[in-house]
Amino acid sequence: MQTALYYIVLALLCGIFSLVSFTVMLPYPITRIQKFLIFLYTFAIILIQSFTSLRFSLLSVILILSGMLYFILLSREHKIINLLSALLNLCVALGTSYLLMAVASHFFIDIIFFQKYSYMFCLYFIVQIIFTYFASHYLYKALLFFYYKTRNTRIKEQQLTEQLAQAHTIKDYTAKIESLYLDIRTFKHDYINILSTAISRIQKSKVLSIPKLSLLLKKELM
């Protein structure tokens, strides 16, 4: 009875650990049904192997990993991003597990210790789950912080580039307007001088017929 209870508790902890190892760092959270399927799938495999003669091997690990990745890929959107994030989360979980094992071995807590005190392994597993969760959670927060910081910097740089380009465009437009204004002003000045000269000559002339007046204006304007 105690052994069966131990196997059930161990399978429950493995199911929780699988959730922590794959779903903490997902940028697009999966549904509760998917989380429950991941937990139930891991729980079932560990429980079946615990109560049968099947040994926990590399094949079991492959079955668990492939099953959990499949349930993550059931999402309708953002499958690739979630898959890559889940693999990163798994690497973090393995790293924290190795680190915790290294710390435990420093205090002479190893496989022989857990074989002698089997229930201590459950306590160790709980500590490992908590440690993995917080490590993944804060690493995810740090990655998000640097991602949004970099993104905001790029957006600001892009906005600054667009503002500079707009300022150059406005400057060129203003220069063209000033050039056109100077041309118009020059033409106006020349036009007034021509008319003044023509009027002065008309006034000096005693009598001019219309054709002669037209020829005189044409000469002045040319």
135 lies in the same domain as 187: no
Q: What are phi and psi of 207, to 5 degrees?
A: -135, 130
Quick check: 68 and 46 in contact, CB under 8 A?
no
| Position with higher pLDDT, 1 vs 39 | 39
How many domains does the structure of the chain reveal? 2
199 lies in the same domain as 99: no
In this structure, how many other beta carbons lie within 10 angstroms of the beta carbon of residue 166? 10
Residue of 126, 136, 191, 157 whose CA lies nearest to 20: 136
The single-letter code of the amino acid at 165 is A
pLDDT at 189 (0 to 100): 65
Q: 155-193: per-residue pLDDT in tens?
A: 888 888 888 888 888 888 888 888 888 877 776 666 666
Last residue of a domain, one of 129, 145, 162: 162
pLDDT at 215 (0 to 100): 58
185 lies in the same domain as 106: no
Of the given ranges (43-52, 109-118, 199-208), which has the lowest mean pLDDT? 199-208
pLDDT-based confidence at 121, cuts 50/70/90? Answer: confident
54 lies in the same domain as 154: yes
121 lies in the same domain as 54: yes
pLDDT greater than 70 at residue 124: yes
Q: What is the mean pLDDT of residues 193-209?
A: 62
pLDDT at 101 (0 to 100): 80
Last residue of a domain, one of 144, 162, 180: 162
151 lies in the same domain as 170: no
pLDDT at 218 (0 to 100): 54
25 lies in the same domain as 122: yes
Placement of tokens 């459950």 in the chain: 122
Q: 80-106: per-residue pLDDT in tens?
A: 888 888 888 888 888 888 888 888 777
Quick check: 51 and 7 in contact, CB under 8 A?
yes
117 lies in the same domain as 182: no
Q: 141: which 2 tokens?
A: 């927060």
Residues 86-101: b if buried by 16+ CB within 10 A, e if exposed? bebbbebbeebbeebe
pLDDT greater than 80 at residue 35: yes
On the CB side of 104, CA atoms within 13 Å amount to: 19
Q: What are phi and psi of 91, to 5 degrees?
A: -60, -40
Q: 159: which 2 tokens?
A: 């906005």
Domain extent, residue 35, equals 2-162
92 lies in the same domain as 155: yes
126 lies in the same domain as 188: no
118 lies in the same domain as 209: no
41 lies in the same domain as 84: yes
Last residue of a domain, one of 135, 162, 189: 162
